[in-house]
Amino acid sequence: MIDINFLRANPDAVRENIRKKFQDKKLPLVDEVLALDERRRALQREGDERRAKRNALSAQIGKYMREKNTAEAERVKAEVVENNERISAIEAEAAEIAEKLRKDMMAIPNIIADDVPIGRDDSENVERERFLEPVKKPFEVPYHLDILERLEGIDLDSARRTSGQGFYYLLGDVARLHSAVLTYARDFMIDKGFTYVIPPYMIRSDVVTGVMSFEEMDGMMYKIEGEDLYLIGTSEHSMIGRFMNTVLPAEQLPLTLTSYSPCFRKEKGAHGIEERGIYRIHQFEKQEMIVICKPEESGEWFKKLYSYTVELFVSMGVPVRTLECCSGDLADLKYKSVDVEAWSPRQEKYFEVGSCSNLTDAQARRLGIRYKTEKGNAFAHTLNNTVVAPPRMLIALLENHLNEDGSVNIPPVLQKYMGGKEKILPKK
């Protein structure tokens, strides 16, 4: 949510930002917000005047009662009643306007960084850097589901019976590799100085609307029937929500946290859930990192966060590249975002395995996350980034470390989490 003071002073800049994100249907919101804001301030002025008048009238009643001037006292009492009725009407209208204003403000996208490339969707994202040289396999690389089945590491049929499409059972050494990746990622981030956290896996609606846009909420979140609770789509949701309506001491910043959680997503939209395999699923596990910091620090932290993901993948021998997300690919709360993509030897192209975002103060404004300054309280900046999400990481590991005989080499950094095992051997 952008600052109302910024919108008042720079309505044309806000309109241009909406155009850059190809959301022209939201342009009328700017004028609507300005009109609502002006009406709210007018009501505030009138309310203050009438409350002052009420105090003055009350003093008059006391004076007339002491003078035993009953007629004048009753006349002023009637005026007080009329004035109070208007105050009540003002407060009711002001509350209605405040709700409309908040809803409109939450729909207006955050101002994006000046250097964000302009484009309509992810097809116009811009490659920035590559790390490790992709190696072309001297044999045909099977689809990841075929690799998993030959390792007897997955059971999709049983999962369809128990849970439906978009779920799976991981088995044996593959399940162990999945856990090894998460444990390694946890230790990797702790070694970077981050505090490890296991958060709640359900959050209330006021947290959901604080951490994401309405469109994202509709396409992602599962609601618990009969309760004001949602399953998290990523641990960032409950991690950031932890600081809702708090004022943090400046000396505590930056807060650097890494969290483990299962994640639950509808995957509603163009991609759907019918893909064969485990690339897009309803339930997975993830190691996440978040930072809450002062505004002047968020640019540097943004670079650090996605560099950690790159370093993690490279340490496991997986070639990756970074992509600068274009304006049309940025969610409404994002100021700037970089995707990390891993190399797929089978497809001979890269695919997304993580995303790093700087949300400046947009998320903090929704949630009321502030910190103390010498001049008062200020909104903090929030950032989040995927350390690793094993379903996609498994695909990258399996394809990049597959041998022609169907075995899969375990990267040295993971072997201690696999009991010293160096390979996973095919069972079929």
Q: Which tens digit of pLDDT belongs to each residue from 373-420?
A: 988 999 999 999 999 998 889 999 999 999 999 999 999 999 999 999
Domain contains 211: yes
Which domain, by its residues, includes 198?
122-424
Tell me, yes or no, whether 101 and 222 share the same domain. no
pLDDT tens track for 242-261? 999 999 999 999 999 999 99
Least confident of 79-83, 179-183, 275-279: 275-279
Domain boundary among 107, 131, 159: 107
In whole numbers, what is the pLDDT of the chain averaged over residues?
Answer: 92
What is the rounded distance in angstroms from the CA atom of residue 344 to the CA atom of residue 363? 34
Take residue 346 and report the two structure tokens written for it.
């089978």
Of the candidates 267, 412, 401, the residue with the CA atom closest to the CA atom of residue 344: 401
Give the helix/strand (H/E) hosting 57.
helix 28-66
Question: Where is 145: in which H helix or E strand?
Answer: helix 144-150
Residues 134 and 220 in one domain: yes
Q: Decide which of 268 and 402 is more confident.
A: 402
Q: What are the tokens at 255?
A: 């807060």
CATH code, domain with 230: 3.30.930.10
Domain boundary among 107, 142, 165: 107
Task: Please tell me the predicted confidence (pLDDT) of residue 269.
Answer: 53
- Site of tokens 């970089």: 338
Judging by beta carbons within 10 Å of its beta carbon (0-12, 13-18, 19+), is residue 219 exposed, middle or buried?
A: middle
- How far apart CA 367 and CA 363 sit, in angstroms, is 6
Tell me: do 91 and 153 sit in the same domain: no
Residue 270, pLDDT score: 45
- Joined together, the tokens standing for residue 353 give 């395995």
DSSP letters for 380-425: PEEEEEEEE-HHHHHHHHHHHTB-TTS-EEPPHHHHGGGTT--EE-
Span 63-69, mean pLDDT? 87
> Is 117 part of any domain?
no
Question: Domain ends where: 74, 107, 140?
Answer: 107
Q: What is the dihedral of CA 262, 267, 268, 269, to 10 degrees?
A: 150
Positive/negative CA dihedral, 328, 333, 334, 339 = negative
pLDDT value of position 271: 52
d(CA 329, CA 339): 11
259 and 301: one domain?
yes
Q: In terms of domains, do 250 and 295 share one?
A: yes
CA–CA separation, 364 and 292 (whole Å): 9
In a domain, 334, yes or no: yes
Give yes or no: residues 69 and 128 share one domain. no
What CATH number should be reported for the domain holding residue 86?
1.10.287.40
CA 163 to chain CA mean position, Å: 27
Do both 169 and 78 map to the same domain?
no
Q: State whether 189 and 322 are in the same domain.
A: yes
Enumerate the β-bridge partners of residue 188.
none
Same domain, residue pair 98 and 190? no
Q: For residues 265 and 330, is the Cβ–Cβ distance under 8 A?
A: no
Residues 172 and 298 reside in one and the same domain = yes
Looking at the structure, tell me whether residues 223 and 168 fall in a common domain: yes
> Structural domain tally of the chain?
2
How many Å apart are CA 244 and CA 253, to the nearest integer? 15
Do 231 and 309 lie in one domain? The reply is yes
* pLDDT band, very low/low/confident/very high, at 214 (cuts 50, 70, 90): low
